[in-house]
Structure 1
Amino acid sequence: MNPHHRLPNIHLHLRRRGDSADSRLPGIPIYDSQYVASILQHIADRADVADLEHLEAHLSPSTLNLLRQIPTHELLRLAEQRPAFCSICVDEPMLHLAINRLRRIHAEQEETMWFIRRGAPAAAMLELFGINEMEYRRLRGVAGPATRRGRTPKLDGHLAEEVRRSWNRTRGSDDLAQRFHQLVDSYPNIHVATLWAAIKEIAS
C-alpha cells in the first residue's frame, strides 16, 4: 500500500456510483465507522488474493485497486466520511431459514440435555441423537447427573406390560426421541435406563 496516497481522490471514486442521499443507498446504510472500515478491509483483502469475479460485479476494477492501496489506518478515516456510502442487504427468506435452523439446533440441544440430566444410558443417546461415547461423557460432566451403580433393574411383569402398551400407542410417530421423552414423562418414578431397556426388549 502507498502511505502517501491522497484520501480526497478516494472519496470521489467510492461515491461515484451512489447518490448523496443515504436513503438512495440499496439496503440498510451502515453508519458505524468501525464496521465500515472492517468491510472495506475485507474487500481489499479479497481483491489482494485475486478474488475479483464477485467483487467486480459490484465495484469497478479502479475502485478495487484504490481500496487495495489505502493504508489500513486510513480506512477508518475513510469510513467516517458522510454521506454514508456503505450498506447491507438482507435476504429475508434465507435469514428466516437460518433462524429456524438455529432454533432447531437449540431445541435438540435442550432435548439432549433433558435426557442426560435424567441419566439416560450411552446406548440411548447414541441411537436417539447420534452422540458418541466421548461426547456422552462430556455432556454427563456438564449436567452432573447422579451416577447409577450396578445393573439396570428390570420391570416386573405387570409394569412391563403397561410400559409396552404405552410405547406401542406412540408407534405411529417416526420421532423416536419424542416417543421416548413421552414415555419417560409417563413414568417419572422409573429410571430412564430401565425404560430404555424395556423398549429395547419390546423391539427385539
Structure 2
Amino acid sequence: MITYTTIMGLAAGVALILLPMLAYQLYKNRIQTFDVWALTFGGLGMILTISGGHMSLFWPLQSPEKFKNFMFGEMTCAFGVLLILAAVYLWKRGNSVLAKGDQALDHLFTVAQPVSVFVFALGLALTAITIGAIQFEVFATAPSQEPILGTWPKSLVNLSLCALYALPAIGCLVTLPAVWVRSQKLMMVACSTWFVTGIGWLLVAVVVYYTHIAMDFNFRVK
C-alpha cells in the first residue's frame, strides 16, 4: 500500500504557510538574510519534487484512487520544482536583493513575472481538478476501514478536500495580475489563500498519518 502522500501533504502544507510568511516579512522589511529561507524551501522542494515526480511517472496508486496520481502527484511535483527554483534564486541573489532596500519588493515582482504565467496555468489546472472532484466526488473513495476519511459523510470529506484545491487555485490565478501590475492588495489575496490552504493540508496530513495506521491495522485484523 502506497502511503507517502502523507509526507507530501505535510511538506506542501508547510511550504504554503511559509511563502506568505516570507512575503509578509519582506513587506515589513524584516528580512536580514534569505539563506535560511532558501535552505527550507530547497528541502521542502526536494521532498515534493521526488515524491510528486515518482507518483506522476509511475502511478503507484491503484483503483479506485488512480486519478490521484496526477491530481496530487503532478501538482506537488510542479510546486516542488518552483520551490527549488526559488531556493536557488534566494541563495544566489538574496544579498543583492536585500541591498536594494525599499526597491527589493518591486524587484522581486519583476523577477517573478515570467514564472507567474506558469503559476497561472497551475491555477487553471487546480480549477479543473476542483470542478471534476466536486462533480464526481473523487475524494470520497476511502474504504470504510479508514477512520474519518472513510467513515464521515462522503460529501463532507469530498467538499473539504475540494476546498484545498479551490483556494490555491484562486491564489494562483490572482498571482499573474498581481505580479504584472505590482498590486500588493492582489498579492495579499493570493498569500491569504495559500496560508489557509497550507494549514488545511498540514492538518489533513497529520490526521492521515493516524488514519493510515488504523486502516492498515483494520485490514490486517479482517
Report which of the two structures shows the higher radius of gyration computed on alpha carbons: 1
TM-score relative to the length of structure 2: 0.22
Greater relative contact order (CA < 8 Å, ≥ 6 in sequence)? 2
